[in-house]
Amino acid sequence: MESKVYNQEGKEVGSVVLPESIFGAKWNLDMVHQTVTSMLGSRRNAVAHAKNRGEVSGGGKKPWRQKGTGRARHGSTRSPIWVGGGTTHGPRNDKNYSRKVNKTAASSTLASVLSKKFKDGEILMLNEIKLPEKKTKEAVSVLKAIAGIKGFESISKKKTNALYLSVPSISSDIKRTFRNIGNVDVVETRNINAADILGKKFIAFVAPEESFKILTARIK
């Protein structure tokens, strides 16, 4: 199994052999859903918070005496059944949404997603990226050149979630040059995961042979 390799001008410069363990895995929807849902849950920050009857202000005095008024008995005006009272079973910011993901499940899911994206023609191999001027306009030029490759025409047109750029190691030049482009994420190969990949339309591996060595060590 091979894939074409392009340069940053969008021209074909060779080919690379793809590891079967990374790009030849079967698509497992149930496993992908379970793993990615757990990953996203672990990233979730609980923000919504409703006060219960012990947290709302006021209500320290009993509204009226227990017996003899003809009215229902109440102990506090901050009971959930009173206007201005606390909330019952509302969202709480102390809730823990994190879930454990086993390493085996995470690596198998990553291989499954990469294989699916490769079969769908959404993975691109680039031999290298050089940006001598370290300016955003150079990054834009690279995206436009890549968009000239068949199947990747929409990279430079999409406003969001366009490209996941995987590099063996992030240099300050690449990071600074691409940071002003909102539809591109630059990530080191050792840090890629299924949840982030599924959030982008295309994936580009820079220096693929070196990147594959890193991935092979993770996916066994």
How many angstroms separate the Cα of 72 from the Cα of each of 63, 65, 69? 11, 10, 8
The one-digit pLDDT tens for each residue of the chain (220 residues) are 889 999 999 999 999 999 999 999 999 999 999 999 999 999 998 899 999 999 999 888 899 999 999 999 999 999 999 999 999 999 999 999 999 999 999 999 999 999 999 999 999 999 999 888 889 999 999 999 999 999 998 888 878 888 999 999 888 778 888 988 888 999 999 999 999 999 999 999 999 999 999 999 888 6
Domain boundaries, the chain: 2-28+102-218, 45-96
Q: Mutual orientation of helices 208-218 and 103-119 as an angle, nearest 10°?
A: 140
Burial status of residue 186 (CB atoms within 10 A of its CB: 0-12, 13-18, 19 or more): buried
The CATH code of domain 2-28+102-218 reads 3.40.1370.10
What is the pLDDT at residue 220? Answer: 66
Host H or E run for residue 71? none
**Structural tokens at position 103:** 């390493």
